[in-house]
Structures are given as C-alpha cells and as structure tokens.
Structure 1
Amino acid sequence: MTAPLTTTGPPPAGPGPVTGPPDTGRAPASTTPRSRLSAGLATTPGRLALATTVAVVACLVLGVTGFLAGNTQSAALRDAQRDAAQLVGTQELRNDLVSADATATNAFLVGGLEPAEARARYEASLTEAAEALPTLASTAHDAEAADLATVSDSVQRYSGLVESARANNRQGFPVGAAYLDQASAALRGEVLPTLDEVALSTSERVDDDLGSVSLAQVLLLFVLLGLVALGAVQLWLARRTHRVLNTGLAAASVALLVGGIVVTAAVLGGNGVARSVASGPYAATVATSQALALATDAKSMESFTLIKRGSGADFEESYQTSLDEARTLLTEAEDATETGIDGSRELLDAWDAKHAEIRELDDDGDWEAAVKAATSTAEGSAGAAFTAFSDHAHADVEATSTDAVNRLGSAATTAQIAAWVALVLGVAGAVAAAAGMNVRLKEYR
C-alpha cells in the first residue's frame, strides 16, 4: 500500500492586498503637460530656462515696440509735413488769384491801355496760379483733386472775362465794366469758395496728423515694461546664484537702456515739436496767409468803389470788414512766433492811411484825383504802400512755413532713426541675454 503524499514546506500563500509597483526611490513620472511644467519649474534649471525666456522676450518687446513707436510717430510727422505744405500751397494759390484780380481791377481804373507794369503783375500772378494747380492736384486727396480740377476750369473762364473787359475798356466801351463784374463774381462765387473748402479739409487733416503724433507715446509703456522685466530677471539671478554680475545680462541691460532712452527721447521730443509747430510757425503761416488774402481782396474793393462812381458803398464796407479781420490775424501771427515776426501790421495800417486819403478825395467829388492816387505806384503812393505790405507778408509766410516744414521733417527723421536704433539694440540685447543665461544653464548639465 502506497503511503500518502505529504509536503514539508509551508502552505502556499493566498491572494493578499495590492501594494502597487515596487518602490524605486524616484518620484512617479508626470502624466500631463501642466504637471510636467510644474515639475520642471520646481528645479533650478527649469527656472533658469524660464528666466532666459523672460529676458529674451523683454528685449524683443522693447526693440519691437520702440521701433513701432518711432516709426508711427515718424509717419505722422511726415503726414503733417506734407499736409501743411499742401495747405500753404492752396492758400498761396488763392492769394495769387486774388492778387491777379486786384491788379486787373486797379488797372481798369486807368482806362484805355493799362500800364505795362500792371499788366505784367497780373500775368505773373495768373501764371503762378496756373502752374501751382497741377502740382497741388497731384498731391491732393481724391475729393480735393476733383475740386481743384473745377478751379482750373473756372480760372480759365475768369481769365477770358478779364480779357473781354480789357478789350472793351481799351476802346472806351462801358460794357467793359460789366465783363469785369462777371469776372470778379466768377472768382468770388466759384473759385475762392472751392479753394476755401479745400483749405479747410486740408487744415483738418493737419490737425489730425499733429494729434496722431502723440499716440506713439502709448507704446513707450511697453518699452518701460521690457526694462522692468529684464531688471527683475537680473535681480532674481543674483539672489539665486549669489553672483552680482552676469556679463550677457549686463550687456543686454546696457543695450536696452540705450535703446529705451533713445526712442523715448525721440518720441517725447517729436511730440513737443508737433505741439510747438502747431501753435507757432504753422499757426503764424496760416494766419499771415489768410490776412494777406483778405488785404488783397480789400484792394480789389477799393478799386470797385471807384469804378462804381458814387454807388460803391457796399464795396467800401467790404473793404473795412476785410481789413479788420486781416489786422486780427496779423496780431495772432505775431503772437504765435517765438522770433516775433512783425512789421506787416504796421505796413497794413500805412496802406489803410493811404486808402483813407483816396476816399477823402472821392467823397469830396474829385474822382479823377482819387483814381490817380489809387493807381499810382510812385514812392509814397497807395500802390507802393500796398506792395510793401504784400512783399513783407509773403516773406513772413515763406519764413514761417519753411520753419514749420523743416522742424517737422527733422523730428520725423529723428524718430525714424530712433526706431531702428531701438530695434537693433533690442535684438542685440536678446542675443546677449540668451548667451548670458546659457552660461548659468551649462552649470547644471
């Protein structure tokens, strides 16, 4: 009989509780991007990598925003420069046409063949106006270009009516005065209102351009943010590594500081230039040009008062109104300029005194003597007094407009250069910051 099979070892263990994977002495691997990022930032190399990113981004932010700030302001200044020159050109065109009309009207008083000097002045003013029209139209906005095209057609019509008046006046036909009335009505009813509308829209654009110059200052906040961020990275690194100087970060700091100062100075300076030009030479240019146009128009009214022979009270009233407005504008122009352009107001008053003498002669019944005084260009005459005022006012407009355009152009160039300086130094700072931080990262590899 076979003996039963027996075991000598312990019985097999039954199933026990699950205790998980064996302990390897390391933390379990992260399973999500967020947890992996948190784990990475918990280490010094991870924090150094983040600091490197912050430093590089700070440098690029300063470079790019500095470039945008300078570039934006430069563009606004260029627009203001262009539109200001366009406005001055439009007003000068208006002045040329009014001057031509004043000369033609004054020459009409002589009767017969007008003086050669007066004819030459009329043709010179009309030629300058005709030459200025295509140039202004080529640089104007679409709506303004269309308006200037209608002005060109009206000027040709005006010129034809003046020639008809001149031809009839030479032959002593009274109908010549009617043609002159039509010519003046066409100028004042069609041409000048259109030019005034063009000047108004251009002036509004100049104001918008000068206002846009200040908007670039908002971007300087990001420039400051870039400097603060880089400074914070250096402070953290110094405390973490107990090392005061990191060559790469120091170079980046110098680059950003220089770039920030350059672009900030340029943008703030450009804004200051825009404000000073708007209230200074630009304001003086507009006021003086408008005053010259009003005074020249008053010169035409003086002639029409005599042409109408006793029925020109309305023209005399227009003369006085225009002259009062011209005086006010010349006072504004003198107040607007730092150098204090002066003399035009006094010359205008001197011409007005001669006009008073003409009116006295006419009112006393000596019409022929009044006409002779109004048409004379001899020294001490009303014509010489008006020419002195006109020449002085033109010189003032030329000086102040040139000053305004040059200052705006110079500020635009400065802002453009500063923009590129900020961009180049921002990129260079980013490279230097990355190199400096990489030295620290290598210590942990």
Structure 2
Amino acid sequence: MTTTASPAAPSAPTAPATAPPPHPTSGWGSTPRGLRVWGALAAVVTALTGLFGVLAVSSQSLAVEDARDAAAQLVGLQDARNQLVAADAAATTAFLVGGLEPVELRTRYDAAVDAGAQALTSLAATGPDGADGLAAVSADLTRYTGLVEQARANNRQGFPVASAYLEEASAVLRDDVVPALDALVAAEQQQVDDEIATARFAAPMVVAVAVLALVVLALVQVWVARRTRRTFNVGLVAATVAVVLVGAVGGAVLGGAGARAAQVRDDAYRATVQTSQAFALVNDARSQEAFTLIRRGSGASYEETFRANVADARTALERDGVRLDGSLVDRLDAWVAAHDEVRQRDDDGDWDGAVAFVTSDDPGAPPALFDALSGALAAAVDAGGQQVADGLRPAGAWLGWALLAVGGAGAVLAWTGLRPRREEYR
C-alpha cells in the first residue's frame, strides 16, 4: 500500500520590522523642546504686555503733567501781557487829565507794571525754553516805562511833546512787547496740543499690544493642544485672562484719562485762552479810546483800531457762534455804548465834555463800565486757569503697578502651567 504525503502547510508571513521611535528629546520639533520654547514665548509675551502697560501709564502721566505745566505757563504769559496792556490803558487815560495825573490811575499803572515785570521774572525761572524771549521782553518793558516817565514829566509841565513820548511808549508795547509774548503763547499752545495727543495715544497702544499678545498665546495654545491631546492648558488660559485684563482695564482707564484731558483742552482751556485774549484786546481798546482824544481831531486811526479790537474781543468771547459767557458780552456792549457817547461829544465839537465823560466817576461813564468789564474778564481767566489745572490729571500710579503685577502673574502661570507636560518627558 502506497502512502502519499500531504503537502506542508504554508508558513505565516513574517511581520516587517518596525523602526524604533525617535527619542522624545531629539530635534527642534520635538514635543519636550517645543514645550520649553513655546512656554517661554508665552511667558515673555505676557510679561511684556504688563511691562508695556506700566510704560504706557508712565508716558501718559508725563504727557498730561507736561500739558498742565505748558497750560500754566501759557496762562502766566497771557497774564503778564494783560497786566502790561492794562498798565498802558491806565497811563493813557491818566494822560487826559493833564498836569498831575489822578492818584488812582497812577497807582493802577504802577501795580500793573510791577505785576507784569514780576510775572516775566517768574516765567523765565519756570520755563527756561523761553528765557531768551522773556529777557528781550523785559528789555522792551524797561524802554516802555522810560518813555512813559518822560511823557509824564513833560505832561506835568504842559509840554506838547509829552503826547509824542506817550505814543511812542504805546507803540513799543503794541509792536514789540505784545507780539513777543504772543509768540511765546503760541509755542505753549502747540505744546499743550502735542502733549494731549501723546496722552490720548497711550490707550490704543496698550490695546494693540494686548491683541498681539493674544494672537501669540492662541498659537501657543493650539500647538500645545495638538501635541498633548488636551484642549486647554490652565496656565495658558490664565495668561490669556491676564492679557485681556491688561488690555481692557489699561485701555479703559488710559482712554478715559486721555478723553478727559482732551475735553479740558476743548472746553476750559480754550475758553480761558480766548477770554484772556479778549481781556488784552479791550484794554488795548481803552488805550486807543484815550488816544482818540489826546490827538484832538486826528485820532481817526485810533478809532479804527478801537473798533477792530472790540470786534475781535467779541469774536474771542464766542465759539462757533455761541457766547462763552453772555454777561461778558453784555458788559462789553455797555462799555462800547458809553464810548459811542464819548465819540459823539467829541465829533460835535465838545472835546472838554468828551474828556470829562471819559474820566468821570459816574457809574454809567466809561471808566466804571470798563472796570466792570475788565474785572469780570480777569476773574473768568483766573477761574478758567484753575479749572484747567484741576482737570488735567493723569491716571493714578496704581494703574501701572497693577498692570505690571497682572502681566507678571500671567507670565508665571503660563510657564508653570506647562510644567506637568514637560515632566512627562523626563
């Protein structure tokens, strides 16, 4: 019997050999190294956001303080100018009396000149940038007072040349002193505008930096989620919250401070500058009023200047067609009406009557009405200057330290939050 051998069963296929996995700590793209690099990036970005917040607070505080100092310097310059113009108004009005001028007007002149000179000295000490210009103004002021004294001496003796000295003195004030002070005022105005613009720039910059930091943190979170198979990392979430707080709180508080500074500039500051300008204009107009009579028959050009000054003063007391203070305009109109009566008497040939009225103590005469107007303008300028000083206040220093603390805490949490993942690869 023949036995047939059955065929051998086929052998199972041999599984292909698998390559050994790469070492988890090798290469820049490895998870452990990536956790260190991305974690450090998240911590640095969060810390820098807090640091930028404190720098923005400091920058805005300096800008607001500089704006307040520049506004105070501007008000001081205008006050010096106003004092000197008021002194000239007193000197020219006193000249109408002839001989020995009234004690009240002489006292007013001396007090205004002294106040103006002291203001110039104080301004030169507090604002060194304009020291050279103020020195030139002081020199012109000395020349002005010398000419006034010559005019007074000749007027006491009845010499006609006295009016020429007085006219030259007023020309020095109008053509040299006032323009120089106005140029310094314009420079301070520009600085106020520039500093407030800087203060308003702080808030959007903090928000922009916070947004950039959030983008970086989002990228880090995505990378960590893909590598660790965990949707959120608590430390990175905490860092994100810290950045949001820095951007939101810093942006809101700095934005509010910048908006308040701009509001002060547009309201109290502008009104103070315009009212101060009106004060100077009406005091110069008072001098022109006196010259229309001093020149006896040849004062038409002074009357034109008077009218121009009054028109400019009325414009200065309005903004966009709305009166800043209706009572000031009413006082201006009352004084101008009294001036019209002076001109009417003089034009009718009653020069003595015009002089008597323009130097009268009557409550309805030009002196009383002018004093009421000038005093009200001066009080408005003082009140406005105080409002500007009170309104230009920076955000508290606490904000900067708070933002820095929040950013620092977020940075620590960002780094320590990834520590458990890094420990898995040790």
After TM superposition, the score normalised by the length of structure 1 is 0.84
Quickly say closer, same or farther: Cα 1:335–1:82, change in 2 above 3 A: farther
Residue 30 of structure 2 corresponds to which residue in structure 1?
A: 42
Aligned to 2:414: 433
Q: Which moved more, 1:290-299 or 1:269-278?
A: 269-278
**Whole-angstrom CA distance in 2 between matches of 1:285 and 1:211:** 20
Contact 2:207 2:248 in 1 (8 A): no
RMSD: 2.7
Quote the residue 1:405 is aligned against.
389
What do the CA deviations read for 1:32-71 (whole angstroms, capped 9, x no partner)? Answer: xxxx99834332x333223311320221221122223222
Map 1:230-309 onto structure 2 (within 5 A).
230-234=217-221, 237=224, 248-309=235-296
* From 103, 113, 117, the counterpart of 2:100: 113
Distance 2:272 2:104 in 1: 29
Contact kept? 2:140, 2:172, Cα under 8 Å? yes
Aligned pairs for 1:52-63 (under 5 A) are 52-63=39-50
The residue that corresponds to 1:382 in the other structure is 366
Q: Provide the identity percentage.
A: 45
Q: 1:285 to 1:322 in 2, by over 3 A?
A: same
Residue identity opposite 1:149 in structure 2? A
Q: Which residue of 2 aligns with 1:72?
A: 59
Deviations 1:110-151 (A, max 9, x none): 112222221221111111101111121123354x21111011
After TM superposition, give the deviation of residue 242 of structure 1 in Å: 6.3
Alignment of 1:442 with 2:423, yes or no, is yes
1:17 is matched with which residue? none
One-letter amino acid matched to 1:49: R
SS at match of 2:362: coil
1:435–1:342: structure 2 CA closer, same or farther, 3 Å change rule? farther
Choose which of 137, 147, 169 in structure 2 pairs with 1:161: 147
Task: Give the gaps of 5 or more residues in structure 2.
Answer: 1-16
Q: How many aligned residue pairs are there?
A: 409
- Per-residue CA deviation, residues 52-105 of structure 1 (Å, 9 max, x unaligned), is 113202212211222232222222222222212211111111111100000010
CA contact (8 A) 1:66 1:223 kept: no
**Cα pair distance change 1:246/1:320, threshold 3 Å:** same
**What TM-score comes out, normalization by structure 2 length?**
0.87
Distance 1:223-1:441 versus aligned 2 partners, 3 A rule: same
Tell me the amino acid that sits aligned with residue 107 of structure 2: A
Decide which moves more: 153-162 or 254-263: 254-263
- Alignment-derived partner of residue 186 in structure 1: 172
Is the Cα–Cα contact under 8 Å of residues 57 and 395 in structure 2 kept in the other structure?
Answer: no
Residues 1:146 and 2:132 are matched in the alignment: yes
Task: Please say if residues 66 and 220 of structure 1, whose CA atoms lie closer than 8 Å, have aligned partners that are also in contact.
Answer: no
Map of 2:340 onto structure 1? 356
Structure 1: 5+ residue runs without aligned partners? 1-22, 30-35
* Partner of residue 199, structure 2: 213
Change (3 A) 1:238 1:357: same
Paired residue secondary structure (1:433) = helix
